[in-house]
Structure 1
Amino acid sequence: MTLPDSALPPTPGHAVRRRGVGLFWRTFLLLSAWIAISTLAWVQTLREADQGPHAVHTARHLVSLVRVVRAALEHLPADRVTPFFQGLQGGEHLRVVPHHADDRHQPLADNALAQRIAEAVSRLLGAPTPLATSVNGAQGLWILFDTHAGSYWLRADPALLHPLVDPVRLAWLWTAVGFSLVGAVWLARWVNLPVARLSFATSRIREGDFAASTLDESVQAPELRDVHVGFNRMAQQLARIDQDRAVMLAGISHDLRTPLGHLRLEIELAVPDPQSRANMVRDIAQLDAIVDKFLDYARPGQPHAQPVALREVLATCMDPLRNNKDVGMVLDMTEDLHVLGDPVELARIIANLLENAARYGKSVDTGIARIALHAHGEGDDVVLCVRDHGIGIADAQIDQITTPFFRGEAARTATTGAGLGLAIVERLVLRMAGTLQLRNAEEGGLLVRIVLPSATR
């Protein structure tokens, strides 16, 4: 029998871990953005500072060309003007053409540099002087000037309109940006290092390793020192509480089970009625099982992870229920699956699920608990589904069903449970780095889906 293994909602009470941009990268990107904005501001400032000298230099160059060409045109004989023009046109950019009233010209672009060049040229020549970027379709830097013989257009190098990029300055700029980014990486790592250490120490406490969660109390920053001292004192107190709990659990196990054992022996010897004796023994066994539930839920420490054959553990946990006429089980597992975990912990998980399904998953029509188990591999994980065919759980109680001592409506009619079965399952699954998901099956009953790390990942 194959159970649906569609995506289920996350286990109540446990937030979904969302992966995003880490604190280091956020700090680095923030510093990089600040460096980029500062660099652009400096580049714009230098460009503005260079525009004035560049405009004066370009204007002087243009005025010098105009004066030379004007002097040549005014002093050359008429028969030498045409060869003079042809000689100028032999240059790469320099050209002189007569001005006509119907000439079509494109004025300079309306920007700060062009306006500064036009103002400087007019000031040096002593009169408003038109400048253009094209005359009759010919591109270039054109300037209109007058002579005794008429008006002429002089074309100069259009590159004069654009400031030259200083390679030395550009190299220094990129060097500064590179050093700034390296400094940003170092600064982001230095700022976030205490947070990373605190996060690691917190994770160790979560795993129960209090010895590896000590932070350095000799740091120079007083704020960090106060945080480290407070964290270490908290970890020490939690370690003492955990140790006291272990001692208390050992005492409970001894102090409760010893009189229960004596009471059971005395009942078997003193009560003559077999039925009454069996009922009393069953009640004592139930009290002993409830004590086991409390101990299982409160037991500290971490499981020892090792490859565990899932089929063997399932068979071991299913054997005690095979002779129960009120329970029917079906196992669908075609693969030889191995999970990475503790065999004892895994057996407790499966046993609690089977016990819960056998107790509360009985069919309303037949009174028999039909339990379906399905296991398969899914990437680097092993998925185990346990489903009964009972009345399920009310939707309003799904979020509370793994809360310790909570007993659903189906369990309230019975007095044999302590309300810890699914809470123990959830705790053990999380200790084995797995996830637990519960929902009501579409055909009825409760569907429990457990995802555990595979031993073959």
Structure 2
Amino acid sequence: MDFGKLVEPDNGGAHRRRSLSRVVSHLHWLLRQRLSALKSGLFWRTFFLIAFIITVSMAAWIASVRFFDRAPQTEELAARITSIVEITRAALMHSAPAMRTELLFDLSSKEGIRIYPLEKNDKAEPLLDGAGLAETLLLVQTQLGPETRFAGKVNGVGGFWVSFKIEDDDEYWLMLERTRLVRGVGWQWLGWAGIVMLLSLLGGVIITRRINLPLARLTNSIRAMARGEAPDPLPENGAREIATANRAFNQMVTDLKRIETDRALILAGISHDLRTPLTRMQLEVEMADLSQEAREGMQSDISQMDAIISQFLDFAKPAEATNFTMLNLSELMQDLTARASRLPDMKINAQIDPNIHVVGNPVDLKRVLNNLVENGRRYGRTPDSDLLELDIKCKIESGEGGKRAVLEVADHGVGVPESEIQQLKKPFTRLDAARSQANGAGLGLAIVDRVVARHGGEFILTNRAGGGFLVRIILPGAKVKKADK
């Protein structure tokens, strides 16, 4: 025997236990998510409220029916028992003694009625108390006589036993099957009540969904606006209150779009008008009798103002899909990394797959890439260092709509607080004091977001694992073409 195998650890069993633990943890997480949705969701709150009201109403209705039906049911059962006993007694009294055996057999086989002589040594057990049983027995005893006795078992045989006399000394037991005395109408009522309750709950689901669906649409549209997206118009039909709310929301979206368009036109007009005086100031500085230090300072200020005006013009530039063409994205990225690598304080780690082509505007995409590098140069420097290290990647991934080009630009800086990342897409946004002192108007990433949206792509901002900030751009319709020889 190989004793080494006896002490070998069961790695397969440990792996199965870990897998089972992960599955249980995942199921526990799903259960908590579902319970959280049940607690917080308006749909489920409304549904459970309606279900509670329906359940209480049905319970009250059933209790009322049983309460008011109890007396008639008791009287009917007592009359049935009395009638059976009286008819059986009359049949026995008026039948010939020789025919009584055959009569007893017919009563037992056809009617389920059994007749036994009552003996003094019979062991009779009382009936189990039930709903309305005491009232029923009292009514039967009133009609048959006070000497009438009842039993649930006689000599170990179960049933409904009632005594009667044919003559003064001739006493018998009459035994009925309990099934003959059970009234089935109550169970039928419970069945119908269950069906009515299920239909009511189904109606409650439909009503709750019709109430909450417009609210869910409005909530999703508001969330889309908060993410900077343009929501689809909400339907303006249906209930008056909901139609009014949707109409007001659609009007607000239209007004915001118009305000955004007007602001872009104003920015473009002001920026264009400022270019001429800036050019004149640049010439005057060149010709003025100034010291070299003063001239360089004024030229730097003018260049900064010109850069801000360029950002305004880029932000206000309208979409022009007619200028889209098939371009080599890999070459654009390689040119970008080559120019960025020549800067003295920058280190570029590039992973660019060759011959990736997309449909787009080459000027706009160059502007996007330059803005990302400039954004990293200003805000993404490595802590305790003047060096900027950028990881630039360009690759192809397969998605639901086909192949997509994925661009990634990541720095090794301090990153951005998670709660404020999405704010960076908004125009004129700079988060901290250090950024507010930087050159620019806070339009860099807003311009990137707008250009990527024109190209039908996705613009994703997140913090880089290990520290830093990561910008991810996904452009649809990517292809790999061989380079022309």
Instruction: Tell me the TM-score normalized by structure 1.
Output: 0.67
Distance (Å, rounded) in 2 between the aligned partners of 1:339 and 1:67:
100
Show the 5 A alignment for 1:134-213: 134-147=153-166, 148-165=168-185, 184=204, 187-188=207-208, 191=211, 195=215, 212=233
Aligned 1:402-421 pairs, distance under 5 A:
402=423, 404-406=428-430, 408=432, 415-419=438-442, 421=444
| SS of structure 2 residue aligned to 1:63 | helix
Task: Say which of 244, 248, 259 aligns to 1:241.
Answer: 259
Which shifted more, 193-202 or 142-151? Answer: 193-202
Alpha-carbon distance between aligned partners in 2 of 1:156 and 1:264, rounded to the nearest angstrom: 118
Gaps of 5+ in 1: 1-17
- Is 2:308 aligned against 1:290? yes
Q: Distance in 1 between matches of 2:251 and 2:81?
A: 79
CA distance in 2, matches of 1:200, 1:365: 43
CA distance in 2, matches of 1:453, 1:53: 79
Partner of 1:448: 470
Secondary structure in 2 aligned to 1:91? helix
1:127 matched to 2:151: no
Q: Say yes or no: does 1:438 pair with 2:462.
A: yes
CA distance in 1, matches of 2:476, 2:155: 80
Contact map agreement 2:348 2:390 (CA 8 A) in 1: yes
- 1:65 alignment partner, one of 81, 84, 91: 84
Aligned residue number for residue 387 of structure 2:
368
What residue identity is the alignment partner of 1:353? L
Q: What code does the residue aligned with 2:412 have?
A: H
Contact 1:98 1:153 in 2 (8 A): yes
Superposed, 1:7-22 pairs within 5 Å as none
CA contact (8 A) 2:149 2:162 kept: yes
Q: Report the counterpart of residue 412 of structure 2 in structure 1.
A: 389
1:89 offset after TM fit, Å? 2.6
Letter in 1 for 2:470: V
Q: Is the 8 A contact 1:205 1:213 kept in 2?
A: no
Alignment partners' CA distance in 2, 1:306 and 1:119: 100
Q: How does 1:235-274 map to 2 (within 5 A)?
A: 237-238=255-256, 240-265=258-283, 267=285
Aligned residue among 356, 360, 365 for 2:375: 356
Of the candidates 91, 95, 110, which is equivalent to residue 114 of structure 2?
A: 95
CA contact (8 A) 2:114 2:176 kept: yes
Cα distance in 1 for partners of 2:363, 2:163 equals 98
Task: Find the residue that maps to 2:389 and give its secondary structure.
Answer: strand
Alpha-carbon distance, 1:143 to partner: 2.7
Superposition map of 1:418-429 within 5 A: 418-419=441-442, 421=444
Match of 2:127 in 1: 107
Partner amino acid, structure 2, of 1:287: M
Amino acid at match of 2:340: L
Structure with greater proportional helix content: 2
Taking only the aligned residue pairs, the percentage that are identical comes to 32
Amino acid at match of 2:462: L
Separation (CA, whole Å) in 2 of partners of 1:345 and 1:146: 112
Distance in 2 between the 1:307 and 1:141 partners?
Answer: 95
Equivalent-residue separation in structure 1 for 2:174 and 2:468 (angstroms)? 93
Inter-CA distance 118–315: structure 2 relative to 1 (3 Å threshold): farther
1:253 positional shift: 1.9
Q: 2:412·2:469 contact (CA, 8 Å) conserved in 1?
A: no
For residues 99 and 286 of structure 1, the distance between their equivalents in structure 2, rounded to whole angstroms, comes to 120
Partner amino acid for 2:307? A
The residue correspondences of 1:43-58 to structure 2 (distance < 5 A) are: 43-58=62-77
State the Cα distance separating 1:251 from its structure 2 match: 1.8
Q: What SS class does the counterpart of residue 430 from structure 2 fall into?
A: coil
Instruction: Give yes or no for the alignment of 1:323 onto 2:317.
Output: no
Report the CA distance shift for 1:68/1:324 in structure 2 as closer, same or farther (over 3 A).
Answer: same
Matched pairs, number: 429
Preserved CA contact (<8 Å) 2:271 2:312: no
Structure 1 letter corresponding to 2:271: S
Q: Name the CA distance, whole Å, in 2 between partners of 1:379 and 1:143.
A: 83
CA distance in 2, matches of 1:335, 1:149: 117
Amino acid at match of 2:411: D
Contact map agreement 2:307 2:440 (CA 8 A) in 1: no
Structure 1 window deviating more from structure 2 (304-313 vs 369-378): it is 304-313
Q: Given the superposition, is the C-alpha separation of residues 47 and 372 from structure 1 closer, same or farther in structure 2, using an over 3 Å criterion?
A: same
1:259-305 CA distances to partner (integer Å, 9 max, x unpaired)? Answer: 23343455567689999877755543332222344566677999999
Moved more, 81-90 or 60-69: 81-90
- Where relative contact order (Cα < 8 A, 6+ residues apart) is larger, the structure is 1
The alignment yields a C-alpha RMSD, in angstroms, of: 5.4
Offset from partner CA, 1:361-413 (integer Å, 9 cap, x none): 444687432212356748659876533234x25x8x5645656553547657x
Unmatched segments (≥5 aa) in structure 2: 1-35, 479-485
CA distance in structure 2 between the aligned counterparts of 1:306 and 1:137, rounded to whole angstroms: 99
Amino acid at match of 2:469: L
Q: Residue 20 of structure 2 aligns with which residue?
A: none
> Aligned partners of 1:151 and 1:32: how far apart in 2?
57
